[in-house]
Amino acid sequence: MAGGVTGGGSATWSDRFEQGLHPAIERFNASIGFDITLLQEDLDGSIAHARMLANCGVIASDEAELLCTGLEQIRAEAEAGRFQPGLEDEDVHFAVERKLIALLGPVGKKLHTGRSRNDQVGTDLRLWLRRRLDELDPQIQGFQTALLKQARDHRSTLIPGYTHLQRAQPVCLAHHLLAYVEMLERDRQRLQDVRKRVNWSPLGAAALAGTPVPIDRRSTAQALGFDGIYANSLDAVSDRDFTVEFSAAASLLMVHLSRLAEEVIFWASEECGFVRLTDRCATGSSLMPQKKNPDVPELVRGKCGRVFGHLQGLLTMIKGLPLAYNKDFQEDKEALFDVVSTTKQCLEAMTILIEEGLSFRPDRLEAAVGSDFSNATDVADYLVARQVPFREAYQIVGAVVKQCLSEGLLLRDLSLERWQQFHPAIEVDLYEALAPRQVVAARTSEGGTGFTRVEEQLALWSERLGFTAQ
């Protein structure tokens, strides 16, 4: 079996091998079914590599031009659907090289000079992820803008605030939505930070030890838009930290999407009724005609498990690998591809949900904040302002709530005379302090839910996100 990939035979390997792979092992070993995703990046890296070889005098300039022309022809054929490598190509790198040799003959055999599939795949994967990171950033920003629009529309709407899923204190709905805008900003920052470590070139590290071929690694790094090169060839071909880092950052982003999804599911329930789901983002039951199901947030909540699972899988794959390259690394691609795909799909779905998939019900929200004891803390604050120690005020209000519960009353229902039985410092102005809108307005500490503070944050985020009201 002579030849292999450079000799025109059917085998991938050198004449060191006498027999071909068992068909089942060939299928098991091949990655062409999924790493064809890296085709554009493989072509970009190969073009930069060919031009560098010519600049360094390793190949002639006209040979480099032929190689680049051939690589662009493969790109055009792929776009037209005519480049469809099969199992015999094993992976995208050999598929491109085999096609190039078929197009150019012996010149095509020169492209792989001074590199290995080990540094080649590392380069491709970084280029691919860098592009996806650059797509994710404006997508996250778009979701932030969708939340901001809802917040601007509900700057004076109140919603119950919860701790332990128990009514705690009323808050401004805009303040609640802006909390997710803040979370998403941290997600953007994390992904931008990941991009910095993605953007280092392993190209030219070869199999693991560098190459005696007089190449210029920094020129290919610059041509491909990398910030620099790996200083250690062993590290260059064996580093997959960036796949873990990205998956961890994506997992946190999915956590934030899932937390909001859970709230939407709760808000849309009959028991709560804070939002109505529109027909654009809900489905019905095959049996019960009256139902409208929150499929979008439920799917987002469920898809978190995929992303979390891939993160764990990548960590497990890497943890026991000796230096340098190992075939285990083939398992990084499907995981990484799915993390990116799932995260982008969930972001898109949640953006549509917030933009046109739900409408808040101010009437239900207003009724909710006016029918509980979430203003109890404000009675304590009222007494503190009249020189009553907080812990004493806390005990007084606890006794008041207990009495009201026993009589089926709310705090607003107690007469002034009965209030003064609990403490003589209480005056008629307490009733104003207990009104839900005043409860919210009073919280003017920096970062609080007070309307003036919320307006400041709406203005700040409108400027940051470049949002101007239509």
Q: Is 164 a residue of the active site?
A: yes
User: Beta partners for 160?
Assistant: 170
Q: Is 49 a residue of the active site?
A: no
- 440 burial (CB, 10 Å; 0-12 / 13-18 / 19+) is buried
Write the CA distances from 146 to 11, 140, 150, integer angstroms. 54, 10, 7
Task: Give residue for tokens 């469920």.
Answer: 302
- 309 burial (CB, 10 Å; 0-12 / 13-18 / 19+) is middle
Task: Give residue for tokens 């004493």.
Answer: 392
Asked if 300 contacts 261 with a C-beta cutoff of 8 angstroms, the reply is: yes
Q: Is the dihedral of CA 271, 274, 279, 283 positive or negative?
A: negative
Asked if 111 contacts 322 with a C-beta cutoff of 8 angstroms, the reply is: no
Q: How many residues does the chain have?
A: 470
Question: What phi and psi, each to the nearest 5 degrees, are found at residue 126?
Answer: -70, -40
User: Which uninterrupted H or E stretch holds 228?
Assistant: strand 228-229
Angle at which helices 376-384 and 390-407 pack, to 10 degrees?
140
Angle at which helices 117-153 and 173-198 pack, to 10 degrees?
160
* Catalytic residue, candidates 10, 14, 269, 285: 285
Question: What phi and psi, each to the nearest 5 degrees, are found at residue 358?
Answer: -150, 160
Catalytic site positions:
164, 285
